[in-house]
Amino acid sequence: MQLPAPRGPLTDRLFAELARPPHAFGPPPADPYGDSCGDEEDAQLALFVCYELHYQGFDGVDDRWEWNPSVLALRERLETWFEGWLARRVSRPPAPPPREVPRALAALVASDDGPSLSAYLRGRGDAAQFREFVVHRSIYQLKEADPHTWGIPRLLGRPKAALVEIQSDEYGGGRPERMHAELFRATMRGLGLDDSYGAYLGGVPGVTLAISNVMSLFGLHRHHRGALLGHLAAFEMTSSLPNRRYSQGLRRLGGDAGARRYYDEHVQADAVHEQIAAHDMCGAFAAEHPGLTGDILYGAACALTLDRLFAEHLLGRWREGRTSLWRADAEVSMR
């Protein structure tokens, strides 16, 4: 994956530093950490790139940057900004008693009243819009499960076993061709899209990057482990029905069985994962860590809120007859 084009002074400075061998560098002369659109785009991309050094990295960027103190110091400041960004958008649910956590998660999911992107793509979306949707999702889906896997060494006993069970399915049960990331690559190929990792990083807006950034934020910090589990639970509990609709929409648009397999797989798998995540993972973790029940619900609320913001962005742009990608001239490359 190549570093994308900068979006402001922060990414311009960061990318210039990363193009050199690892070295110490100070903070940028100005911190665009405000809440305006331009600054938000710059900050979300900078944070995503800092996190990506812990995943697949970038061509031409030395792997030793991953633990460079200057990058970590910048990442810490970006995380402080991002946590404030989340706090302004996500209402923190009250902390339930440990035994009530599965029920509280279900109630939180049931109360979500965001617009249904899946219903739109099932019945009304055109082929170009479905391709745009897949481009957005590729930023996370091509490394599906990896951010939540950071939680495994932070757990013990029943919650750990439950998380491993979910993740094992995400990784295809040991069969590379069944890995969910590989199934998504088949969807991309079926739509004539570039299925290489990170191919569209430069074409997606900050709201799409925020969806991945929140998972990395929770996964890379032990003190956020409760939020990480709640995020995964909400992810699984809101997956089956939307994926059924995505498959139906893709069928309507002429997508073959290979292109739809990713969505069809999630209809069945996530119906099982939903129960494991709510009860065996989050419920058991809450019983062991009663002081973190509020974190579990907050992580779930973050997942639901970001999904709503994402849907509002795509549907709003499409209603206006505009692309949902980062720039009006952003190119969705076709094979």
DSSP 130-160: HHHHHHHHHHHHTTTTHHHHTTGGG--HHHH
Q: What is the token pair recorded at 326?
A: 């980062």
Percentage of the chain lying above the pLDDT 70 cut: 94
In sequence order, the 6+-apart residues with CB closer than 8 A to the CB of 87 are none
pLDDT in tens, 111-154: 998 899 999 999 999 999 999 999 999 999 999 999 999 999 99
Looking at residue 30, its pLDDT comes to 53
The answer, yes or no, to whether residue 157 has pLDDT greater than 50, is: yes
Please give the torsion angle defined by the CA atoms of residues 232, 238, 242 and 243, in that order, rounded to the nearest 10 degrees: 40
pLDDT tops 90 at residue 269 = no
Structure confidence at residue 26 (pLDDT): 87
208-211 — which CB contacts under 8 Å span 24+ positions?
208/136, 208/139, 208/310, 209/44, 209/45, 209/47, 209/48, 209/139, 210/44, 210/82, 210/85, 210/306, 210/309, 211/139, 211/140, 211/306, 211/307, 211/310
Contacts of 51 (CB under 8 A, 6+ apart): 75, 212, 213, 216, 217, 220
273-296 pLDDT, tens digit per residue, is 899 999 999 999 999 999 999 999
pLDDT at site 34: 53
Which residue spans within the chain are E strands per DSSP?
A: none
Q: Residue 72 contacts by C-beta under 8 Å, 6 or more apart in sequence?
A: none
Is 145:170 a contact under the CB 8 Å cutoff?
yes
Top-level class of domain 98-319:
mainly alpha
Q: How does the average pLDDT of the chain come out, rounded?
A: 93
Burial class of residue 159 in the structure, from the number of CB atoms within 10 Å of its CB (0-12 exposed, 13-18 middle, 19+ buried): buried
Q: What is the pTM of this model?
A: 0.94
